Amino acid sequence: MRTPGRVTLGSALSWLRAHDPELAATRRAVRTAIVMPALFALCGQLIGSPTTATYAAFGSFSMLLLVDFTGPMVQRLQAHTGLAMAWAVLICLGTLVAHRIWLAVTVMVVIGFLVLFAGAISSVLAGASTALLLAFILPVTSPAPLSQLPDRLAGAGLATAAAMLAVSLLWPRPTADPLSAPAARVCRAAAEQLRADASWLAGGRGTPDVGQCRVTAHRAAAAAELRGVFDTTPYRPTGLSTSSRAIVRLVDELTWLCDILADSAPPLDARPACDPDAHAVRRAAAGVLDEAAGLLDAPMAPRDALRAASEDLVTAMAVMERDATGRLSGHHAGTATPSRVHPVIGMLDLSFRAQELGFATLQIAGNVDLAASAERRSWHERLLGREPGTLTEPLVSARDRAATHLRPQSVWLHNSLRGALGLGIAVSLTHVTSLQHSFWVLLGTLSVLRSNALNTGQNAMRAVLGTLAGSVIGAGLLQLIGAHSTALWILLPLAVLIAGIAPAAISFAAGQAAFTVTVVILFNIGQNPDWHIVLLRIQDVAIGCAVSVLMALFLWPRGATAAVDRALAEAYTDSARYLAGTVAYAVGRCGSGPAPAAGPPLEEGRAAAAAARRLDDAFRSYLAERGAKPVPLADMTTLVTGIVGLRLAGDAVLELWQRAGEEDAGTDRAEARLVILGAAGHVTGWYRDLAAALDRAAPVPEPLPRNPTAEGRLVESLHHDLTDERGRSTATAVRIIWTADHLDVARRLQPNLAAAAGPHRTS
């Protein structure tokens, strides 16, 4: 029988785990609660330097609570070393410019923009942005003679050393991404589903057995778990590393794979067609997914098995594509008529479904390989955001990544400009009003500045209310404790611990209250308790909150929801253009005819990929933004996943025709070209209309219905390819029909997307 105390402790731990996934905030708070008071005591009581004590305390607070570098331990320590060097430079710069108001404001704006915008380059820079800003905020808002510069640098140096020891020795952070384990479970469940479907299709029994149904339920449950973990993982959009971004893309791709699996389920009321090559592709895809799951569980394991399994899948798909022409010839002869349209296309449906599954599986394998390769990069490559396997120099890669966000629609650019201007205004106010402890104005600005004016106002109100509550608690503690500084030393670690956990586990206001109590204790240790600091703290934070609200109202006031709508519109427009380009490339490979041969749409592909990255940033900002979501999260997720489906359709068409050999240039396929281009025009035109609806509040277009007449024209136009003078079908005919199938996949996405886009028009 458990004692009441143990039950209470267990309940508290359960509550903490429920409100702090992976105990990430608790881990940082525990480290800070140990290190920060110890350094403050060492520098203030033993060394006797208040300046060193202040910079050591806030340096350790910044390096332990505001940053959480990822990767192997060696690279984390390298990142902390780089952060320390940046702190030294920024402290020197802030100390030099603090005495001239115009210079301090100008440099604050420039530093603020560069630090915030640098997050677009890499997760290392993004994750350290707040800590870097604090390194400049502290000296620039506290003018002091240059003689104090050594004490300031000494405090930052002690904080760095202590932070590195704490990171490596005190409860080290796990290296695994929180999405890796559920993604691995989805891979294994999908592999099990593929094998079960292949066995069922090969066996041809009347109805699926209980085991088959159990496999399907297992796969659906695993997919739902992955999506749930994704929606609740407390990521900031700027904190995603290359490997994390790859795994985030896996969420969409695995969702897409599960949708394909559900859509291609074996028929319940008819004997399935026998296609040994399609069954072999499904089994090969299952092998790839099993290897991908193993690499997700152990990213540093060898990748040879995954790459070998991927090569086997590519080989199986090539064999299926080659043999599909023979199967079509064996089942079809004579001229196609409207009544025979569906049987002709249906003969290739099983192999097309296998080809679609195989291609989606190869995309997943590529992302898993990318995530594992990213974990093997050097710290220098991580810092500059170099993608694994690229041939470009790191600086060129960083420049290209930054250029992607130098656009008026970029959420990152918006946030960087707004943050820099807000910090510049706050610096000017601190110098004009000569506030005591004026750097808290900057911290108030930084802590509540968000991408939405309404939510910034809500955060400002929470910050003021939290500060008021913390001030009352702090004033009460000072009255109770009186001149007993020992009690303040005892309370300081507890206050730091609560200040670190409360924002994630309780609320923003609770975190602000605990932070206020920490500041009250910090500035009264070793002095006669002064409750007037409470009033100063409220005044400082109120000014900081007012600045952040003003800047949010002045610049891009519609917030993250509107940013996601714009990013969705841009991504759908560019992805539709890419799909149209791949189809144009396909018809150019069909032989002679009026259409000129088009090259691969490489530029359109790069534009679509860049738009997808910007959408990822905006969507993560939307998830991280506090407050009620005007659009249901499920609808927003459906729209984001639709981009993946549209781009995968384009990728599949491109790869299908890039694998094609030289075809008979004398065959006239002009009619087939017209049918394919017409279908592509209708499908991509619908997506452009959807983009307009998302961006300009236009009506959502009605989904396109299936067009049997066009399918009949396509089969009729391929009559000579389907049955040549020797009674054989050509590989070109199969690829043309599969191209039409990929366009039909993009069409079948439309009803769900139209339903999800509806709430946007009323939000």
When pLDDT is cut at 50, 70 and 90, the band that residue 394 belongs to is: low
pLDDT, one tens digit per residue, over 720-754 is: 666 555 545 567 777 888 888 888 888 888 888 88
First-to-final CA distance of the chain: 54
Higher pLDDT pick, 389 / 333? 389
Structure tokens given for 73: 């331990």
According to DSSP, residue 629 is labeled -
Position 452 pLDDT exceeds 50: no
DSSP notation for 479-534: HHHTT-HHHHHHHHHHHHHHHHHHHHHT-HHHHHHHHHHHHHHHTTTTS---THHH
When pLDDT is cut at 50, 70 and 90, the band that residue 238 belongs to is: very low
Closest to 743 measured CA to CA, from 613, 591, 586:
586
Can you tell me whether residue 669 is helix, strand or coil?
coil
Interatomic CA distance for residues 601 and 614, integer angstroms = 20
Position 13 pLDDT exceeds 90: no
pLDDT, one tens digit per residue, over 179-203 is: 788 888 889 988 988 888 887 766 6
Instruction: Looking at 589-669, list the stretches that DSSP marks H as alpha helix, in order from N- to C-terminal side.
Output: 602-624, 633-658
Residues 588 and 613 in one domain: yes
459 touches 626 (CB < 8 A): yes
33 touches 171 (CB < 8 A): no
User: Residue 566 maps to which CATH number?
Assistant: 1.20.58
Q: What is the pLDDT of residue 721?
A: 64
Q: What is the pLDDT of residue 341?
A: 42
The total number of structural domains that make up the chain: 3
Q: Lowest-confidence range among 119-123, 166-170, 755-759?
A: 119-123
Do the domain assignments include residue 337? yes
Residue numbers of the domain that contains 41:
20-174+378-406
According to DSSP, residue 44 is labeled I
User: How many Cβ atoms from other residues are within 10 Å of residue 199's Cβ?
Assistant: 16
Residues 65 and 184 in one domain: no
Closest to 122 measured CA to CA, from 319, 370, 386:
386
Structure tokens given for 125: 């820079």
Residues 364 and 382 in one domain: no
Interatomic CA distance for residues 518 and 540, integer angstroms = 16
Interatomic CA distance for residues 195 and 93, integer angstroms = 63
Residues 387 and 272 in one domain: no
Domain endpoint, select from 387, 406, 425: 406
Q: Lowest-confidence range among 214-228, 277-291, 344-358, 746-760?
A: 214-228
Provide the strand spans (E) within 78-160. none
Position 641 pLDDT exceeds 50: yes
Give mean pLDDT, residues 595-620: 76
pLDDT, one tens digit per residue, over 286-340 is: 999 999 999 888 887 888 899 999 999 989 988 887 776 655 554 444 333 333 4
Position 693 pLDDT exceeds 50: yes
Domain endpoint, select from 353, 375, 397: 375
Do the domain assignments include residue 2? no
Interatomic CA distance for residues 326 and 322, integer angstroms = 8
Residues 253 and 129 in one domain: no
Q: Is the dihedral of CA 581, 586, 592, 594 positive or negative?
A: negative
Interatomic CA distance for residues 43 and 418, integer angstroms = 37
Position 606 pLDDT exceeds 90: no
Do the domain assignments include residue 142? yes
Interatomic CA distance for residues 659 and 723, integer angstroms = 23
Q: What is the pLDDT of residue 111?
A: 94
Structure tokens given for 10: 């267990």
Higher pLDDT pick, 760 / 220? 220
- Amino acid type, 614: R
Higher pLDDT pick, 670 / 643? 643
Q: What is the pLDDT of residue 338?
A: 38
pLDDT, one tens digit per residue, over 40-72 is: 989 988 888 889 998 998 899 889 988 887 767
Percentage of the chain exceeding pLDDT 70: 67
Residues 679 and 593 in one domain: yes
Position 393 pLDDT exceeds 80: no
Residues in Cβ contact with 184 at an 8 Å cutoff, skipping those fewer than 6 apart: 292, 293, 294, 296, 297
Give mean pLDDT, residues 372-390: 65
Interatomic CA distance for residues 727 and 102, integer angstroms = 84
Position 451 pLDDT exceeds 50: no
Higher pLDDT pick, 310 / 414? 310
Residues 34 and 91 in one domain: yes
Tokens 């900081």 label which residue?
Answer: 544
pTM for the predicted model, two decimal places: 0.65
pLDDT, averaged across the chain? 76
Strongest mean pLDDT among 242-256, 291-305, 447-461, 541-555: 291-305
Tokens 């089942």 label which residue?
Answer: 331
pLDDT, one tens digit per residue, over 78-131 is: 888 989 999 999 999 999 999 898 999 999 999 989 988 887 776 677 778 888
Give mean pLDDT, residues 71-79: 78
* Residue 145 burial (10 A CB sphere; 0-12, 13-18, 19+): exposed
Instruction: Looking at 659-730, list the stretches that DSSP marks H as alpha helix, in order from N- to C-terminal side.
Output: 670-696, 708-717, 719-722
Residues 194 and 114 in one domain: no
Interatomic CA distance for residues 60 and 92, integer angstroms = 18
Q: What is the pLDDT of residue 39?
A: 93
When pLDDT is cut at 50, 70 and 90, the band that residue 530 belongs to is: low
Q: What is the pLDDT of residue 411?
A: 67
Give mean pLDDT, residues 233-258: 64
- Amino acid type, 729: S
Residues 236 and 294 in one domain: yes
| Phi, psi for residue 303 in degrees, rounded to 5 | -100, 5
Q: What is the pLDDT of residue 148?
A: 92
- Amino acid type, 539: Q
Structure tokens given for 114: 């560069």
Q: What is the pLDDT of residue 483?
A: 60
3-class secondary structure per residue, 192-234 = HHHHHHHHHHHHCCCCCCHHHHHHHHHHHHHHHHHHHHHHHCC
Do the domain assignments include residue 511? no
Do the domain assignments include residue 99? yes
Can you tell me whether residue 730 is helix, strand or coil?
coil
Q: What is the pLDDT of residue 685?
A: 93
Domain endpoint, select from 406, 425, 456: 406
Position 576 pLDDT exceeds 90: yes
Position 417 pLDDT exceeds 90: no
Structure tokens given for 353: 């479904």
Q: What is the pLDDT of residue 390?
A: 56
Alpha carbon 617 to its chain's center: 6
24 touches 504 (CB < 8 A): yes
Do the domain assignments include residue 683? yes
Could you give the C-alpha distances from 669 to 327, 672, 700, in angstroms and in order? 22, 5, 35
Give mean pLDDT, residues 140-152: 90
Structure tokens given for 443: 């911290």
- Amino acid type, 99: H
Give mean pLDDT, residues 563-584: 90
Do the domain assignments include residue 484? no
Residues 699 and 609 in one domain: yes
Higher pLDDT pick, 513 / 340? 513
Q: What is the pLDDT of residue 119?
A: 77
Q: What is the pLDDT of residue 313?
A: 92
Residues 654 and 729 in one domain: yes
Q: What is the pLDDT of residue 502?
A: 83
Residues 68 and 138 in one domain: yes
Interatomic CA distance for residues 16 and 400, integer angstroms = 41
Do the domain assignments include residue 548? no
Strongest mean pLDDT among 8-22, 105-119, 385-399, 583-597: 105-119
User: How many Cβ atoms from other residues are within 10 Å of residue 666's Cβ?
Assistant: 7
Residues in Cβ contact with 517 at an 8 Å cutoff, skipping those fewer than 6 apart: 470, 473, 474, 477, 495, 498, 499
Residues in Cβ contact with 753 at an 8 Å cutoff, skipping those fewer than 6 apart: 638, 639, 642, 690
Q: What is the pLDDT of residue 580?
A: 93
